Amino acid sequence: MSESSIWTEKFRPKTFSEVKGQKEIVEKIASFVKHKNLPHLLFTGPAGVGKTTLSLVIAKEFFGDEWKQNFLELNASDERGIDVVRNQVKDFARTKAIGDVPFKIIYLDECDALTKEAQQALRRTMENYAATTRFILSCNFSSKIIDPIQSRCAIFKFKPLEKEEINALIDSIAKQEGFTVDAKTKDALFEVSGGDARRLENVMQSVYTLNKSFTEKEVFSMASVADPKEIKQVLEFCTKKEFMQAKKKLLDTMLQYGLSGLDVIVQIQKKIWDLTIADEKKMLMIKACGECEFRLVEGSDQYIQLNALLANFCTII
């Protein structure tokens, strides 16, 4: 595959043993496939943690070379109305599976984007065609899925990948592409990815395409994330009540990395927990971050609100 290919597809696992993270979930799903007995599944969790990947692996392990004929993948956010269930889903579900397999699989991604009417229609379809079709539903928020659908599925909650799993993925990609990544850069990649494998691979590909090498600074710059050390320095100025230095450092950091006010708030609230101050003061600072973020979302001037936040920090500490 050429360098211009997307790494998220290039390094997508093809077997259960290649899937990084979600060990307990993978073991249970592998057992279902081994016994050729798969219930309806509901995968829920944040983006980039392996929901779609595991669904494709299930199809490939279950159907072998004929997986494409027996597997339908739809994204509910493209067509979120009742017609997608009545037409595409029902037409595929009512036909018999090809080959020596008991049923087909329909994978419905981002199904929390379906309207309530479409979910009601989907519930009936899952009931009527249970003999010939299994459904794998994927969503970020299971609370947006109606209870009748949840009760028909085995629910698996995915979580962000741990640091060891992200490092294993970095090592695997680096080995196949022929480059090395040092420990500090791995920490930076984990920091910017937040346990999201898709984001990790996109950042790695972008850095590698431009520089053919990896450094901590390049990773933060490519991900449009400030170096945590600089955010920590801003907070340390606040602990010393040096408001002007904190203000200048924050502005320089935002301009250097091209950050918005909302981006900065997310990083600030993470670093607050690393400060050596009383827990009560940390709680007040987190509360101040929440109020500042609300004002930014409502359309307030970001620089005024961030300056007010820093001033608030200086009075709290």
- Other residues' Cβ atoms within 10 Å of the Cβ of residue 277: 14
pLDDT at site 180? 87
**Which of 222, 238, 261 finishes a domain?**
222
pLDDT at site 78? 66
104-109 vs 154-157, strand pairing mode: unpaired
Distance from C-alpha of 21 to C-alpha of 18, rounded to nearest angstrom: 10
Sites in the chain below the pLDDT cut of 50: 1-2
pLDDT at site 222? 86
What's the half-sphere exposure (Cβ side, CA atoms, 13 Å) at 10? 17
Distance from C-alpha of 12 to C-alpha of 54, rounded to nearest angstrom: 10
**Structure-token pair, residue 188:** 């930076």
| Same domain for 310 and 212 | no
- 35 part of a folded domain: yes
| Same domain for 153 and 172 | no
| Same domain for 168 and 151 | no
- 2 part of a folded domain: no
Give the domain extent around 130.
22-157
